[in-house]
Amino acid sequence: MAVNSLMFLRVTKQYLPHLARLCLISTFLEDGIRMWFQWNEQKDYIEATWGCGYFLATCFVLLNLTGQLGGCVLILSRNFVQYACFGLFGVIALQTVAYSILWDIKFLMRNLALGGGLLLLLAESRSEGKSMFAGVPSMGESSPKQYMQLGGRVLLVLMFMTLLHFDPSFFSVSSSQQYTHLKRNNGIKKYINSEIYISTSNVSGID
């Protein structure tokens, strides 16, 4: 079993880093491709929202498209990774302002999670020693790479927090409790009716 595991790790070792990079930049890749297919819609939205005119709206969409696709190509090809990450950081900041994401907590947390993925890519591109505990700084060390790994992992958790939905209003809580209470009562009634039916069937059988 251990030999098979070592063989599997040895075979997949050269592919897993590329797959991990692809997963971390997949959102930028998808958004860049969507910019290409929704060029007119994106341009019209920016022009209508900011009233900046046709030329500036076109420049904005073009900058987003080339910045994201170009950054993804550079990261996947392992060329100028740090510059590509800084460019994608700029795209995140630009989209946060242009699409008013700053006031939407869910999309803001998603953008922070994307920044966490870029931090991991930046840390991976640095030629420094590995951390003992997978990105957590070791005792007596203050390596920037280790702190970037730790910050990236913390920010990536925000992506999963956007899946949570909290509605603490009294009406929502009371409705949920009433639904649970009614469901429990219906279950009890069904159980009692089934017991009565079984009892009557047994009595009829005896007669």
Q: In the numeric block, which tokens belong to residue 52?
A: 């900046």
Rounded CA-CA distance 147/126 in Å is: 12
So what's the pLDDT on residue 18? 85
Q: What does the pLDDT read at residue 165?
A: 57
Q: What's the confidence (pLDDT) of residue 108?
A: 83
pLDDT score, position 137: 45
Which residues, at least 6 apart from 119, have a Cβ–Cβ distance to it below 8 Å?
148, 149, 151, 152, 155
For the whole model, what pTM was predicted?
0.68
The pLDDT of residue 163 is: 65
Q: What is the pLDDT of residue 184?
A: 44
Q: What is the structure's pLDDT at 73?
A: 95
146 near 131, Cβ under 8 Å? yes
Digitized pLDDT (tens) for each residue of the chain, 207 residues in all? 566 667 767 777 778 888 889 999 999 999 999 999 999 999 999 999 888 889 999 999 999 999 999 999 999 998 999 999 999 999 999 998 888 877 778 888 888 889 999 999 998 887 544 444 444 444 444 577 788 888 888 888 877 776 665 555 544 444 444 444 444 445 444 444 554 444 444 444 444
**Alpha carbons 98 and 118: distance in angstroms, whole number:** 20
Q: What is the pLDDT of residue 178?
A: 47
Alpha-carbon gap, residue 191 to 198, rounded angstroms: 11
Predicted confidence at residue 75, as pLDDT, reads: 93
Q: Looking at residue 124, what is its pLDDT?
A: 85
